[in-house]
Amino acid sequence: MLTNEEFTDCVQRYLNTVFRVAYNYLGSGADADDVTQNVFLKLLREKKPFEGDEHIRNWLIRVTINECKNLVRSKWWRMESLENHLAAPDFEDPAHSDLFYAVMALPKKYRIPIYLHYYEGYTTSEIAQILKVPKNTVCTQLRRGRECIRKSFMEEAESNV
């Protein structure tokens, strides 16, 4: 079990990682906040020892994904559209705002690998392990996710012509 000091250190280092994974999965800041609190409560109660920082980070991401899965299984959640959940941060650069919406419009099966790869720096093999999918699937998801974003930017540019 983590000491209070170790727990505080984990919160400072990984709070936003957990939040962003949940946000990418759920598209909702309020739901991601709830999931983040649940995940850290589980971390506080975890009795098994951790082998190091990487173990804690992987554990947190995996538990976050399971928490999100549980939430999404609820009927009410499924009835609401992403649009209803989405509350975007304020972006000074309009291109960043467009990129945010393009990413959040992707199916979540693409959003999570993209986040883990481009933000957290995980390799495709590591993502495959965390998400319980074959490595080839992760490669495909990353490629298709990028293609979808590129396509949505091209469509946006064409509509502005």
Partner 1 sequence: MFKDDYQAVFSKVTASEETYKKVMDLPKNRKNPGRFLGKALIVAAVISTLAVMASGAESVGKWFLRYFSDNAGQSLTKSQVEYIEENAQNDVAVPVQTPTEADEPVRVEVKSALTDGKTAYLTLSLTIPENVELTSLDPKWPDPILRFREALLIPEDTTGLIIAPDGTSPDALCEYSAVEDNDGLDWTQELVFEIDPALEDPEAEPFADGRQWRMVLTGVELMFFEPDREDLLLSDQTWEFTLNFQQGDSRQVELVQEPIRLMASKLLRNEYTIEVELTSFTLSTLNFRTVFTPTDPTLAGELLDMGDVKIVMKDGREVTLLRLTSTASAIGRPIILEEVDHVLLADGTKLPMPEGWDR
Residue ranges that bind partner 1, judged by CB under 8 A: 4, 7-8, 11, 15-16, 18-20, 23, 29-30, 32-33, 36-37, 40-42, 44, 46, 48-51, 55, 59, 62-63, 66, 70-71, 73-77, 79, 87, 89-91, 93, 95-96, 99-100, 103, 114-115, 118-119, 129-132, 146, 149
CB burial of residue 86 (10 Å; 0-12, 13-18, 19+):
middle
Q: In sequence order, which residues have a C-beta less than 8 Å from that of residue 22 and are 6 or more positions away? A: 31, 32, 35, 36, 39, 64, 67, 68
Tokens (6 digits) for 31: 């739901």
Q: Which is nearer to partner 1, 6 or 155 (CB)?
A: 6
Tokens (6 digits) for 52: 């190091």
Q: How far is the CB of 160 from partner 1 (least distance, A)?
A: 19
Amino acid at 36: T
Which residue is listed with tokens 């790869």? 117
Q: How many CB atoms are closer than 10 A to CB 22?
A: 26
Q: Count CA atoms within 13 Å of residue 8 on its CB side.
A: 3
Q: How far is the CB of 161 from partner 1 (least distance, A)?
A: 22
Q: Which is nearer to partner 1, 59 or 141 (CB)?
A: 59
Q: Which is nearer to partner 1, 115 or 124 (CB)?
A: 115
Q: How far is the CB of 117 from partner 1 (least distance, A)?
A: 9
Q: Which is nearer to partner 1, 135 or 155 (CB)?
A: 135
Q: Which is nearer to partner 1, 7 or 140 (CB)?
A: 7
Q: How far is the CB of 87 from partner 1 (least distance, A)?
A: 4
Distance CA 36, CA 17 (A): 9
Q: How far is the CB of 71 from partner 1 (least distance, A)?
A: 8
